[in-house]
């Protein structure tokens, strides 16, 4: 009897382990809204994982803006809901799957008719005084009296008219688009070299030998003798920089490993779409599992009308809990943790 009981327990353990490797059948439903909060019809919807792989088939929202991915096979983790509408543009929403059905709300406003950003009162330019009609010199009027030399005065008046015409055109500076500004190459120097005679040179270090330094500067390529160099500093361009606060805490399971801890933005600029990535490897450096998760930070509305709460302001920290499933038949021996983020304007 005891022998049979051992077989039953062993069979149950094997069955439960295999069951964890199977995907869940989850129903993902929700609604698509336009900029006025009304249901948006005929929006094309697709679910993708963190690697860009599509999950299930594409769906469309009905006349009330509602949609449903019914009983799709999906593993627990982080995913992205993407929506496209022919008139209102595109949008996306990160979300996570645990073990139960979920409902989502996706906003797809029309970018072309979206309201312009309101400038805060402290940033507004001072109001300009409107010029009255009395301050404008009319062509038919003369501002001086004349008694003789009508021909000379007529020449002066004609010259004055041409000046007034140029003034009344109210010419302004041409508008320069963002695309044109992005094409302008701004020098990005990484090194600052101070010479013994007090001269300071900024440029990018191209080559270094035992006796010389070769720098690419704004005026061309310079070769400096090291005996002339007093000090060379490496400049760091301001930007976001997200780091781990200490080593992550790891929970070990037969089919997965759970990493938890905190990250912080120690840079000078906001980091957007901050994502923690975990990778597992076996003794032969073969990938034994990989997954990622977005951290929960500050809620930001971007210029593309994408709304996300995955940004970290300078100095801000956030917790994370990442579950990395182990591939079947693999035995992880070590892991690598990484952080990805983006910098938006």
Residue partners of 230: CB distance under 8 A and separation at least 6: 194, 195, 196
Q: Look up residue 39 and give its two tokens.
A: 């249901």
Question: Which is nearest to 274 in space by CA: 232, 233, 234, 244?
Answer: 244
Residue 336 has pLDDT above 70, yes or no: yes
Residue whose structure tokens are 């032969």: 284
Residues 6+ apart with CB under 8 A from 81: 28, 30, 45, 46, 47, 92, 93, 95, 104, 106
- Reported as a pLDDT band with limits 50, 70 and 90, residue 116 is very low
In CATH terms, the fold of domain 242-342 is Immunoglobulin-like (2.60.40)
- The mean per-residue pLDDT over the stretch 314-342 comes to 93
Here the tokens at position 310 are 């995955």
Q: How far is CA 246 from the centre of its chain?
A: 25
> Are 259 and 248 spatial neighbours (Cβ–Cβ below 8 Å)?
yes
Least confident of 25-29, 147-151, 194-198, 248-252: 147-151
Taking the C-alpha atoms of residue 15 and residue 18, their distance in angstroms, rounded to an integer, is: 5
* Residue length of the chain: 345
SS3 6: helix
Quick one: residue 289, left, alpha or beta (phi over 0 = left, psi -120 to 50 = alpha)?
Answer: left
Assess whether the region 189-234 and the region 242-342 belong to the same CATH fold: no
Quick one: average pLDDT of 32-59? Answer: 87
Domain-by-domain residue ranges, the chain? Answer: 13-107, 189-234, 242-342
Structure tokens at 159: 């010259």
* Count of Cβ atoms closer than 10 Å to residue 88 Cβ: 23
Q: How far from the centroid of its chain's Cα atoms is residue 290's Cα?
A: 23
Q: What pLDDT is stored for residue 114 in this prediction?
A: 39
List the structure tokens of 260: 């938890």
Please state, in angstroms and rounded to a whole number, the distance separating the CA atoms of residues 236 and 250.
34
**Domain 189-234 has what CATH class?**
mainly beta
User: Can you tell me the mean pLDDT for 182-192?
Assistant: 67
State the pLDDT confidence band at 62, using cuts at 50, 70 and 90.
very high
SS3 category, 340: strand
**CATH of span 13-107:** 2.60.40.10
Q: In terms of pLDDT, which residue wins out, 93 or 127?
A: 93
Considering only residues 5 and 335, tell me which one the structure prediction assigns the higher pLDDT.
Answer: 335
When the pLDDT of each residue in the chain is averaged and rounded to a whole number, the result is 79
Nearest-angstrom CA–CA distance, 202 and 184:
19
Indicate the helix (H) or strand (E) that contains 155. Answer: helix 150-168
pTM, rounded to two decimals: 0.38
């Amino acid at each position: 009897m005891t022998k049979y009981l051992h077989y039953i327990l062993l069979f149950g353990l094997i069955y439960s382990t295999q069951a964890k490797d199977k995907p869940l059948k989850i129903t993902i439903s929700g609604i698509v809204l336009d900029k006025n909060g009304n249901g948006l019809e005929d929006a094309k919807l697709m679910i993708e994982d963190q690697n860009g792989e599509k999950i299930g088939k594409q769906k469309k929202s009905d006349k009330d803006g509602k949609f449903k991915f019914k009983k799709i096979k999906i593993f627990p983790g982080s995913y992205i809901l993407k929506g496209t509408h022919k008139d209102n543009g595109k949008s996306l929403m990160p979300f996570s799957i645990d073990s139960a059905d979920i409902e989502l709300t996706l906003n797809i406003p029309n970018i072309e008719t979206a309201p312009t950003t309101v400038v805060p009162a402290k940033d507004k330019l001072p109001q300009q005084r409107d010029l009255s009609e009395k301050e404008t010199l009319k062509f038919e009027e003369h501002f001086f009296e004349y008694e003789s030399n009508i021909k000379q005065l007529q020449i002066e008046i004609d010259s004055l008219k041409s000046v007034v015409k140029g003034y009344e055109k109210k010419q302004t500076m041409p508008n320069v688009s963002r695309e044109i500004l992005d094409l302008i190459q701004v020098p990005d120097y990484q090194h600052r070299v101070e010479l013994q005679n007090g001269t300071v040179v900024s440029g990018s270090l191209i080559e270094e030998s035992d006796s010389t330094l070769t720098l690419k500067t704004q005026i061309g390529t310079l070769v400096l003798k090291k005996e002339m160099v007093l000090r060379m500093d490496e400049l760091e361009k301001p930007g976001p920089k997200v780091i781990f606060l200490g080593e992550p805490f790891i929970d070990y399971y037969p089919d997965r490993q759970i990493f938890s801890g905190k990250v912080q933005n120690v840079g000078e600029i906001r980091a957007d779409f901050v994502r923690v990535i975990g990778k597992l490897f076996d003794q032969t450096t073969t990938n034994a599992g990989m997954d990622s998760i977005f951290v929960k930070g500050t809620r930001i509305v971007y210029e593309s009308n994408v709304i996300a709460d995955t940004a970290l302001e300078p100095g801000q920290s956030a917790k994370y809990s990442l579950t990395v499933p182990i591939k079947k038949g693999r035995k992880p021996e070590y892991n690598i943790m990484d952080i990805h983020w983006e910098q938006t304007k």
